[in-house]
Structure 1
Amino acid sequence: MQKFNIHTVQKGESLKSISQLYSLDAGALKLFHNNHCDVKDMILIELTGQKELFLPRTVVTDKNRLVKFGRGNSLIFQPENSFGRYGTTITIENDDHKNELKYETSVRWLKKEKQLHFFEIDRTSNLYLNEEEVNEIADLLAYKTSKVLYPLQISVDEKGKFNGIENLSIFKERWPAIKEEIYKEFDGETVDTYCGKIEKVINEPDAINLYLKNDYFIRTLFFGAYQSFGQDYETEITASFPVVDNPVEPQYKIRLEVDPLKGESGLVNIEGEGRLNDERSIYDFINKAPFSMIIEDSPVMNHEGSFRAVYYLNGQSLLIKSMYLECDIQLEKKKKISVVIAALTE
């Protein structure tokens, strides 16, 4: 991410006139430039033929391009009264095997209580698998039985991070009507199997919580990017992502960075990169162990996994316009999840 701006020196400009243009102390401008330029382009007293000057990233003539931060250069999550529709593409890769899911979702803010925001999530399109609408009976049944979950209500904390499912009790009420609809369209052992699976899930709150906690759309959109970025506009966090099926998700150490200057399109850019930072070994993850099977005073951390995220936020509301997240982990073969989310326009 770019750490500076560049001013192209015009004929007749001086160090003083340029510093006045940006309302910046001439000494501070010279110091910043000299710390970033080649030796041959350093300023001693006055400009001596320099064609470009390096400026601090937040030094601009158009102050509307500056991102509005809270205390500690924090991005403030303010989703009140928002409603958005999103297109989602999820790619799941296991070594050379790859599947791609596409669907559309609506997200409506409901209320705020006790530092938590409540949202209603609904799927608003059919499901597409590898660019084709699902039509295999197993895929259709998986899709149709999952309808019992929507609309789904979730809570999200003040950093924009998913907290939990809030309408677990309603799934049991919805199921009889969904089940009747399914049996009108399908019959046979496969149907019985899928209906049995979903009934097991909705009858166990812990099971359904775990099931929905692995929803890649929810976990990506509400990953928790609204952090305090400090004076250098970057921060380090430890976060988890459900890249594997494990009740205790793999932990990643991630450096998040925000550009204090909006882009040409008026969007705010956040980027994150990190790597796996977990005590569990590759074999622990393969065996779905919730903790390391080897207890050591100074454990060797497993770094065989990577994380990357790119956000573009609306420059006014600071809500997500589009984003990309990818997370991988080394098992017997590498497993990788990639999620693309983009706001849809009417």
Structure 2
Amino acid sequence: MQKYNIHTVQKDETLRSIASLYGFEKDVIKLFHNNHCDVKDMILIELNGQKQLFLPRTAVEDKGRLVKFGRGNSLVFQPENKIRRYGVVITIEKGEAKNELKFETSVRWLKTEKGRHFFEIDRTSNLYLNEEEVNEIADLLAYRTSKVLYPLQVSTDDKGKFEAVENPEVFIQRWAGIKEELYKEFEGEIVEEYCKKIERVIGEPESIDLYLRNDYFIRTLFFGIYQSFGRNYSIEETKSFPVIHNHIEPQYRIRLEIDPLKDEYDLINIEGEGKLSDERTVHDFINNLPFSLIVKDQPDMNEEGEMRIQSYLNGKNGLLEYMYLECSMMLNEIKKISVAIAILPE
């Protein structure tokens, strides 16, 4: 991500006039330039032949391009009274095998209470697997039984991070009608198998919560990017993602950076990347262990995995326009989940 701007020095310009143009003190401009330029281009007292100056990223004439931050350069999550439609592509890779899921969904803000935001998510299209509408009976049954969950109500914290499912009581009420339709349309033991699977999920609130914590779309959309980015517009933090199904998700140490300037499309750009940082070994993950069996004062961290994020937010309301998340880790072979979410035209 770009860390500075470049000013081309014009005839008769001085250090003071350039600083005034961008609303900075001249000593701030001089210090910033000297910290980024070659020794031969350093400013001693006044300009002495420099053709270009390195300027802080926020040094722009058009102040409308600056991202509006809260305290501590925090990005504020304000989803009130909004409904958004997204196209979603989820790619699941394991070794040479690769499958791609596509669907469309709507996300509607419901209310905000005590720092928590509540949303309703609904699927608004059929599910496509590898560019074809789902038609294999196993895939179709998995899709049709999961429809009992929608419309789905969830909550997030004030950073936009997924917290909980908020309407689990309605799933049992919906299920009777959906199950009846399934038995009219399909027959055989496979129908009973998939019905029992979803019944085990919706029968217990804890099972529902665990099931949806493994939902790649929800976890990407509500990743929690509305952070305080600090004076350098970047933070390091530990994040988890369900790249594998484990009660204790793999932990990744990532750096998130935000550009304090909106781009030419009036979008706010956030980038992130990092590595797996977990005490569990590849063998531990393969065996679905929630913790490492080897206890050390200074454990060796497993770094055989990566995470990458690219997010673009609307420059006016700060809501998601596009997000790409890629998360991988080594098992017997590399497993990688990629999620792309894009706003759909109204």
Same fold (TM over 0.5): yes
Partners of 1:12 and 1:229 lie apart in 2 by 38
List per-residue Cα deviations over 1:303-325 (Å, max 9, x = no partner): 11111111111111111110110
Question: What is the CA distance between 1:39 and its match in structure 2?
Answer: 2.4
Residues 268-319 of structure 1: CA deviation (Å, up to 9, x unaligned): 1111111111111111100111111222232211111111111111111111
Please give the alpha-carbon distance, in whole angstroms, between the structure 2 residues aligned to 1:249 and 1:25.
48
Partner of 2:173: 173
For residue 58 of structure 1, what is the aligned residue in structure 2? 58
Letter in 2 for 1:95: G
Structure 2 counterpart of 1:97? 97
* Distance of 1:299 and 1:269 partners within structure 2: 35
Structure-1 separation of matches of 2:36 and 2:21 = 20
Instruction: Tell me whether 1:300 sits opposite 2:300 in the alignment.
Output: yes
Give the whole-Å Cα distance in 1 for the aligned partners of 2:90 and 2:36.
40
2:40 alignment counterpart? 40
Q: What is the identity, as a one-letter code, of the residue corresponding to 1:61?
A: E
Which secondary structure does the structure 2 equivalent of 1:208 belong to? helix
1:204 aligns to what? 204
Partner residue, 2:336: 336
The question of 1:190 aligning with 2:183 is answered no
Aligned positions of 1:202-241 closer than 5 A = 202-241=202-241
Q: Structure 1 residues 329-338 or 34-43, which shifts more?
A: 34-43
Q: CA deviation at 1:50?
A: 2.6
Q: Which residue of 2 aligns with 1:85?
A: 85
Which range is displaced more, 166-175 or 203-212? Answer: 203-212
TM-score normalised per structure 2? 0.97
Per the alignment, residue 325 of structure 2 pairs with: 325
Amino acid at match of 2:85: R
Q: How far is the alpha carbon of 1:74 from its aligned partner?
A: 0.7
1:63-102 CA distances to partner (integer Å, 9 max, x unpaired)?
1111111111111111111110000100111011111111
Higher mean displacement: 220-229 or 199-208: 199-208
CA displacement at 1:122 relative to structure 2: 0.5
Alignment of 1:259-274 (within 5 A): 259-274=259-274
SS in 1 for 2:323: strand
Cα distance between partner residues in 2 of 1:296 and 1:96: 36
- Given the superposition, is the C-alpha separation of residues 298 and 15 from structure 1 closer, same or farther in structure 2, using an over 3 Å criterion? closer
Shift of 1:256: 0.9
- Select between 34-43 and 299-308 the one with higher mean Cα deviation: 34-43
The offset of 1:51, in angstroms, is 2.5
CA distance in 2, matches of 1:68, 1:76: 9
Match of 1:247 in 2: 247
Q: Which range moved further: 138-147 or 297-306?
A: 297-306
Partner of 2:149: 149
Using the TM superposition, name which of 21-30 and 318-327 deviates more. Answer: 21-30
Per-residue CA deviation, residues 100-155 of structure 1 (Å, 9 max, x unaligned), is 11100100010112221110010100111111111111111111111000000001
Q: CA RMSD in A?
A: 1.3
- Once the two structures are TM-superposed, the CA of residue 18 in structure 1 deviates from its matched residue by 1.8
Residue 162 (structure 2) pairs with residue 162 (structure 1): yes
Residue identity in the other structure for 2:156: V
Identity score, percent: 69
Greater shift after overlay, 30-39 or 158-167?
30-39
Please give the alpha-carbon distance, in whole angstroms, between the structure 2 residues aligned to 1:115 and 1:24.
Answer: 36
Structure 2: gaps of 5 or more residues: none
User: Which range moves more in the overlay, 203-212 or 42-51?
Assistant: 42-51
Deviation (angstroms), 1:333:
0.6
Q: Secondary structure at the match of 2:275?
A: strand
